[in-house]
Amino acid sequence: MRLSRFAFQSHYGYLVSAFYPLTGYCNRMMLKKLGNQYGNIRKRLSDDFRLSIIMMFCIPAALAIGGFGVYRYLQGDWLMTLVDTLLVVLLLSISGFAWITGNTVLTGIVLVVFTGIGVLSVLYLAGLVGLFWAYVDTIATFFLSPPAFAIPKVLFMVGASVALGSASGLGPLALISFATTVFVVSIFAFSFARRSRAQARLLEEQAIRDPLTGAGNRRALEEELCIAIARVQRRESGAGLLMLDLDHFKEINDRYGHANGDEVLQRFAELVRTHSRHEDRLFRFGGEEFVLLLNNVRDESMILAARHIQQTIRDQLSTHGQPVTCSIGAALADPQDDWESWLHRADNAVYQAKTSGRDTIIVADHLPAERR
């Protein structure tokens, strides 16, 4: 009996030692996956100001109202328990809709409409308690909806709350105090929300713009290329890339200084934007390299656009009396491409243009356009 127990323990210990590394590996992979998901959530919330406000409002509000719902259930107040439950369900549903669809403008308006209805319902059923939630609703309204909607909505809420409060027996002094304090809170919320939105727009713009030239940066380029290649794969429209590389730019920097080189880059970006269509997008790829995304184009129109940009730079860009030219690599999107392979084809084409003597257009997978 002792022998069999020893044998079992030894066998069990062997199994544990054999499976322990696998268990540790699985745990590490799970932690890594959770870490990646957490990082993705943080990134999305930091990138979308309005979505972060919606989530920060809905989740704490749902927890708080849910707590009141439990308390009222224990007190036997079934009607208020039902109202609280409906509010919690609405808050979680609205936050889920915003997260899944990304439509935060519509979600914000719908959210403050339902919170307003909730406040008036609580005020009608529970009296004075509902007035306290009116302040939360006022702040949320200015942060989550446009001013053109928020201001009339708050005025309506104040009028309806005063009417319901009066019907519930609240005195004139209390109602006047409520209206006055809501007015003060509204001014503060309106001003702070407006400033916060302006700062968020500025930060979003800075996050996707090259500060020197005003062109989109590589982050913006990746996002736009993903959108464009998806359209091509759905056969909705064609798209082309022009990789633009200023010729002998290092010599300009070495001979005339980096300040002069910066002016050339700025003037180059301005010329390309001015002589492109409104729907086209210019990005700075790095150094003296730029990418022009051409939407709704085919082979012929892409080559014509490249020649037009090339001639414009020849005619209008110079420094210290010396003309500045650029080499161009062009690539039309293929449904089999992903954004990286598409960009890589354009990059290879501009490299061929540089090695072919510069001031040249090379079309990926085609013969070079004539050099003039």
CATH number of the structural domain spanning residue 248:
3.30.70.270
Query: Quick one: 186 and 233 in the same domain?
Result: no
Query: Quick one: 261 and 197 in the same domain?
Result: no
Q: What values do phi and psi take at 292, rounded to 5?
A: -110, 115
Tell me 209's DSSP state: B
Query: Quick one: 338 and 229 in the same domain?
Result: yes
Query: Quick one: 122 and 144 in the same domain?
Result: yes
Query: Quick one: 170 and 291 in the same domain?
Result: no
Query: Quick one: 164 and 61 in the same domain?
Result: yes
Domain finish residue from 144, 177, 208: 208
Query: Quick one: 186 and 226 in the same domain?
Result: no
Residue 267 domain boundaries: 218-363
Number of separate domains in the chain? 2
What pLDDT band is residue 32 in, cutting at 50, 70 and 90?
A: low
What pLDDT band is residue 367 in, cutting at 50, 70 and 90?
A: very low
Q: Which of 13-22, 110-119, 318-327, 357-366 has the lowest mean pLDDT?
A: 13-22
Query: Quick one: 177 and 268 in the same domain?
Result: no
Query: What torsion do the CA atoms of 22, 28, 31, 36 make, to the nearest 10 degrees?
Result: -120
Tokens 């209390």 belong to 174
Q: Is 169 domain-assigned?
A: yes
pLDDT at 21 over 90: no
Q: Which of 8-12, 160-164, 294-298, 338-342 has the lowest mean pLDDT?
A: 8-12
Cα separation, 89 vs 97, whole angstroms: 12
Neighbours of 275 (CB within 10 A): 15
Domain finish residue from 189, 208, 227: 208
- Which amino acid is located at 93 in the chain? S
State whether the Cα torsion 54-56-57-59 is positive or negative.
positive
pLDDT at position 27 is 63
Q: For strands 318-319 and 322-323, give the pairing.
A: antiparallel
DSSP β-bridge partners for residue 245: 289, 327
Query: Quick one: 255 and 148 in the same domain?
Result: no
Query: Quick one: 345 and 266 in the same domain?
Result: yes
Q: Is 27 domain-assigned?
A: no
Domain finish residue from 187, 208, 229: 208
